[in-house]
Each structure stands twice: as structure tokens, then as C-alpha cells.
Chain A
Amino acid sequence: MLRLFLLLLVNVVFVIPMSLAQQVKVEVIDPNAIGVEHMVVYLEPVNKPQNVVINSKPLLVEKHVVGQTVIAQKDKAFIPYITVTQKGQQLSFQNQDDITHHIYSVSGKNRFSFKIKAGKEKSSPVLEHTGEVAMGCNIHDWMSGFVLVVDTPYYAQTDDNGIATLDLATGGEYQLVVWHPQLPTKNYQIAQLITVSNNDEDNEWKIKLPVHLLAIPEQENQDEFDFLEGY
């Protein structure tokens, strides 16, 4: 829902003022031609046109910050497991559990570490670098979540059928990237150059993954009891 809201906002902020809005539909399928959900799909203009707005600072709209992507900690798991956001934005962590979590990111250049008490919300620092952010909780080792920080406003995630829809300001040459933390390829992604035409109907792309995704680790402790200690 929030994602939809954000996409709408992106539309309102970036697309409406432009006269030419191009919709790009990307379908991601596995080697057995079955749609793959939750894949990150983004488009980067090859020659960055002047009229594409790239966020450098979060935009404050009422209480919520545009591009503050919310990641919940619920039942000792990161929800959603995968998030995509734009460089220059922040992550907002919402602890919906009745215990403290100690969120960290120690890989790549976007590093942070803080505790969030039960029911509280905290924001990450502004994400200044692109790339994968692997998150964990130093209290509950099985918790695991990923954020991909991209340098383009054109990003989405595939739905249950493996389909992602992106609205571009204008046609042209784009680098189409498909990413997933369990995609066993270089940098966990595959990429190709596409040319987005000004005719909507031509802008459908089907991306077949060369390999199956690796198993997504279950964010669940082996012991199900609620009152465990670190014995």
C-alpha cells in the first residue's frame, strides 16, 4: 500500500509535469518460465537527461518523508525482506515487536547500527551510496533483510506474477537491471540495455533469469518458545 502511495507520489512529483509519460512493463521469469516475485527492477537512463529529477535530499511531506521507506520488525523478522530505495533517502525502521531489536548494516558503504525499543520507530542515516545494504539484528541472528539503493527514481519490485511496472518521464536508452540477494550471478543482478519507445505498447520486456534463485533463508529461530535466553 505504502509502496503504491510512494509510486503515486513519484508520479505526481516527477511525471505529471512532463508531457510524455512512458510506462514500462517488465516480467521476470525463472528458467522454467514461471514469474518470480519480489525481484527489484530498475531503469537507469544511459545518458542522464536534464529533465530527470534525481533525489539528493529527502522531501518532507507532512509527517512522512517521501522516499522514507518503512521496514517493519515484526515477529522477529524484517518485513519486507527486500526493499528498494533511491540514493539520498532514509530507511525508517518500525519495531512492531514487544522486545528490543539491534538493527545493523555492516557491509558496503551505507553503515549504521542502533537499537530500537518495542513499539518505537527510528530512521537510518541518509543513504549516500548506491548498492546492497545487508541488514541484521545483533540480538536475533536469524533476522535478515536487504535494501538496494539505486541512483534513479525508476524502480519497482515484481508482484506475485513476476511483473513490475515503471513509469518513465521520457523514452530513450536505459540500462534495465534485475536484482535479488539470492540471485547467484555477479553482484546478484542481471542487466541489459533497452530502448524505451514513446509508444506504450512496445514497452514490455520479459527477462528470463539464467539460474534459479537460491533458497531464501527463513527468518525464524529454530526454537519457537517466546522466553529464550542466550544460553
Chain B
Amino acid sequence: MKNKTLTIALLLLNFNSYAVEHQFKGLIDLRLYSVDVIDKSESYLAGNYGKYGFDQGSGISLAQLGLQYHGNWDNGLSATIVVNGYAGGIENSDNEAIGLTEAYLSYKSLPNQNGWRYKVKGGVFYPQISMENIATAWSTPYTLTSSSLNTWIGEEMRSTGLEFTLDKLGKFSKSDHDFSLDVSFFQNNDTLGAMLAWHGWTMGSRQTLIHEKLIVQPFFARQGDLKDQAALSDPFIELDSKFGGHIVGRWQYKNTAKFNIGYYDNNANADVVENGQYTWPTKFTHLGLKVKLAKKIELISQYMQGNTYMQSPYGNKVVDTDFKNGFMMLRKYWGDHHIAIRFEKFSVDDLDQTVGDNNNESGEAFTLSYRYRLNKHSFIQTEYNYLDSTRASRYYLWQPISLVEQQVQLAFRYYL
């Protein structure tokens, strides 16, 4: 016993002998916004059907307060904690919160002489899908709102588990091609898909904090077949104690092209319901592409398609939807200027027969965003969004089924 203690103490001492470097990063994103829809349209974040992260009208919002800590040991181990906070933009203040979005330990080996390298990550982290959300605290440097595809990832997706990555760096064999394979196993994602079915695709920069729950829209079936559904969906809950899986393959050519392809399955057992939280088996495939078309002109594109469903305790599918989403973004930068245009097309197809829960949706969106760098850390960014969608469930709140929603924003962003 004494020996064991000694060994552990020595191990700890050894661990401490590797210097740790503390690194703090952050982001403040202040916005003036104006959302132009019908009267009294409220954001999906407030439990309504507004597609943007702000209610109808104008106002000021702390659109993101991101704080990020990295503890880096010399031996390749690091600890990462990401906190995000939000305020304003939603009338009833449901938006105001601060909390963790990610927390994990990771290890990255040195490559060997043939260019093979492995990484391991354990904790709560984003699945590697987004080609936009690559900056501090999962922000996107290109636009103020993420695409609807990645807004969904920020809202309902987080992996609690382990991710293994194997990299093959081409430079060791004087090759221009790098390859990488990720495999992850995770829990706490059993309700994934509920919000996508019930409010459809949305566009914003709000990430759900790990402790948060999401307001479910008030469609008629919640008095009927879905009366047991909780008023708040808990996106990061574990109900069936089963692990889901995600596999992503990546290829990079020089510094001019990146491509990824992946398959995600939360592997939920459809039979479970606890305190109004149902399991939603959700599967999808995703593709991503980032190509330099010319010097300082880049094309970014992602596509996703899949299915999510939930069933009653008697085994019939109460909600069953197929979903699809794709976007293309072109960006150009010169000096301190950056301009991005993005086109999106998305749909949700309702496959079930449940009365009072029509989740059919189709839509298109256009975004024009301009960024100006004031200095190394500070940016002014302005953006226009146009979103034209048809969503049957708006009928439940006496809103037009076909609707154009427009948004203009002016942001000051400070990256630390």
C-alpha cells in the first residue's frame, strides 16, 4: 500500500515536472440587429418559429462572449475549457446565460518519420463537421451567423466521449497530400433531432451551453399524441446508456483544398422516455469542402442528409423526418477586407401521420457579409440575411406558412 502511494506520488511529481503553459483566449461579439418579419415573430430560441437568433425588431445583443482556456503540457497533453455567454436579442430574456460549451483533455503525439501521428480526445467536444466554426470558442470568422447546417450542430450536437484520430502527414514523404481518420464514441446525445424536427433549420450564432435546455414549440400534437413530451428538450441527456459513433475521413491537398466525409449515428434505443425526454435515433452523412479557387478566393461547401425519429411507448413512430441541408459560400479577402456570400438550401420531410405535428419544411437562404479589420484583434462586420421558407407548423401559431425573413446586423468583434 505504502509502495503504491509512493509510486503514485512519484508519478504525479513526474507529471508536474513537465511545464504547463496556460493560454487564455476570448471573443467579444457585440451586435446591433434588425429582424424584419411579421409582427411579433419571435426567435426559435424563444420557442417560436423565427429562423434567426433574435426576435423581430431591432436591438443590441451580446451575441457571443467566448472564453477559452488551454493548458498545454510539453509532453503533448492539453486541457481545454470553453465557456460561452449570451445576452439580449430575445424579449423574454431566455437567451441570457453563461456556461460551458466544451471541456476535454487531449493528447497529440509527435509524427513518426513516416508522418503518422495520433491524437486522443476525451470529454465534451464538438463532432468534427463544421468547415465554418473554426475560430475561438467555435465562432466562424467568415460570417456573423453560421449556416443553418452548422447552427443545428451548435444547438443540438455535442459529444461526451472519446475521439481517436490518426493523421498521415504527406510532407515526410514529400507528398502534397495529408490524410486523417477520426473515430469517436459518445453519449449524452439521445434527444438529437427533436429541435430540428420541431422548429426546422435556423440561422444564428447561438450555441447551446451544456447545462441548458431548449424550448419546444407549441404545436397542437403537444395536447395530443405528444402530450408527454417535456416543455424543454434536454439536448445533452443520456437515456439509454448506449454509445453512438461518428467516423470522419479527411483529405487535404497542399494549402489549397480540404475535403471531409463522415457518418454520424447516435445509436439511440428508440424505446426510452424519461421525464418527457424521448430518445431520438438520428443518423446522417455529411460532406465538407474548402477549396482555394484563386489566390484569396475560396469556396466552402457542406452537405448533410439523414433521418431522425421518435416513437411512442407502443412502438409507432410519432415523429419521423428526413432532413437535408447544403450550402455554398464564396469568400474573398484582400488587405483588411473580407467579403463572403453564402447560398443555402434545406428541407425537412415529415414521414409520420401524427395529427397536429406537421414538420414539413423547405427553404433557401442568402447571406452577404463584409468584415473589416481595425487592428490585429478588432473587427467590424456587417451582414445581411435573406431566408425564404415554407414551414407548415407556423399555421399552429397563425403565422404564414410561406415566409420571407430578413436580418441586418452590425457587429464589433474583439478576439483576444
How far in angstroms is the closest Cβ of chain A from B309?
Answer: 29
Q: Is the CB of A227 within 8 A of B141?
A: yes
Given A227-B136, A231-B126, the answer on whether A138 and B255 have CB atoms closer than 8 Å is no
Q: Is the CB of B135 within 8 A of A228?
A: yes
Cα–Cα distance between A148 and B112 once the two chains are bound (Å) = 19
Stretch at the interface among B167-175, B205-213, B387-395, B400-408: B167-175
Cα–Cα distance between A182 and B175 once the two chains are bound (Å) = 11
Stretch at the interface among A12-20, A193-201, A213-221: A213-221
Q: Is the CB of A225 within 8 A of B141?
A: yes
Q: Does any Cβ of A come within 8 Å of B134's Cβ?
A: yes
Q: Is the CB of A214 within 8 A of B21?
A: no
Given A106-B110, A229-B136, the answer on whether A144 and B171 have CB atoms closer than 8 Å is yes
Cα–Cα distance between A134 and B178 once the two chains are bound (Å) = 17
Q: Does any Cβ of B come within 8 Å of A107's Cβ?
A: yes
Given A229-B136, A231-B138, the answer on whether A222 and B172 have CB atoms closer than 8 Å is no
Cα–Cα distance between A2 and B320 once the two chains are bound (Å) = 70
Q: Is the CB of B171 within 8 A of A229?
A: no
Given A214-B174, A231-B128, A231-B130, the answer on whether A100 and B111 have CB atoms closer than 8 Å is no
How far in angstroms is the closest Cβ of chain A from B40?
Answer: 37
Within 8 A of B (CB), among A178-231: 181-182, 214-215, 217-218, 220-229, 231
How far in angstroms is the closest Cβ of chain B from A171?
Answer: 37
Q: Is the CB of B169 within 8 A of A141?
A: yes
Contacts of A45 in B (CB 8 A): none
- Looking at the complex, which one of A104, A215, A222 makes contact with B290 (CB distance below 8 Å)? A222
Q: Is the CB of A117 within 8 A of B21?
A: yes
In this complex, the member of B23, B113, B138, B290 whose beta carbon has the largest number of chain A beta carbons within 10 angstroms is B113
Q: Does any Cβ of B come within 8 Å of A81's Cβ?
A: no
Tier of interface size on chain B: 35 or more
Q: What residue of chain B has the Cβ atom nearest to residue A142's Cβ?
A: B255
How many chain-A residues does the 8 Å CB contact rule pick out? 32
How far in angstroms is the closest Cβ of chain B from A206?
Answer: 27
Within 8 A of B (CB), among A131-149: 134, 136, 138, 141-142, 144
Cα–Cα distance between A224 and B136 once the two chains are bound (Å) = 14
Q: Does any Cβ of B come within 8 Å of A115's Cβ?
A: yes
Contacts of A104 in B (CB 8 A): 110-111
Cα–Cα distance between A177 and B72 once the two chains are bound (Å) = 42
Q: Does any Cβ of B come within 8 Å of A113's Cβ?
A: yes
Given A100-B72, A107-B113, the answer on whether A181 and B174 have CB atoms closer than 8 Å is yes
Q: Is the CB of B135 within 8 A of A106?
A: no
For this complex, 28 residue pairs linking A to B, each with C-beta atoms less than 8 Å apart, are: A106-B110, A106-B111, A106-B112, A108-B113, A113-B110, A115-B72, A134-B172, A136-B111, A138-B108, A138-B110, A141-B169, A141-B178, A142-B255, A217-B176, A217-B254, A217-B255, A218-B254, A220-B255, A222-B298, A226-B376, A227-B135, A227-B415, A228-B134, A228-B135, A229-B25, A229-B136, A229-B137, A229-B138
Instruction: Write the residues of chain B forming the contact surface with A, with a CB cutoff of 8 angstroms.
Output: 21, 23, 25, 27, 68, 72, 74, 76, 108, 110-113, 117, 126, 128, 130, 133-138, 141, 169, 171-172, 174, 176, 178, 252, 254-256, 258, 290, 292, 296, 298, 333, 376, 415
**The 7 A-B residue pairs with the shortest CB-CB distance in the complex, in nearest-first order:** A227-B415, A225-B141, A107-B113, A222-B255, A227-B136, A231-B134, A227-B135
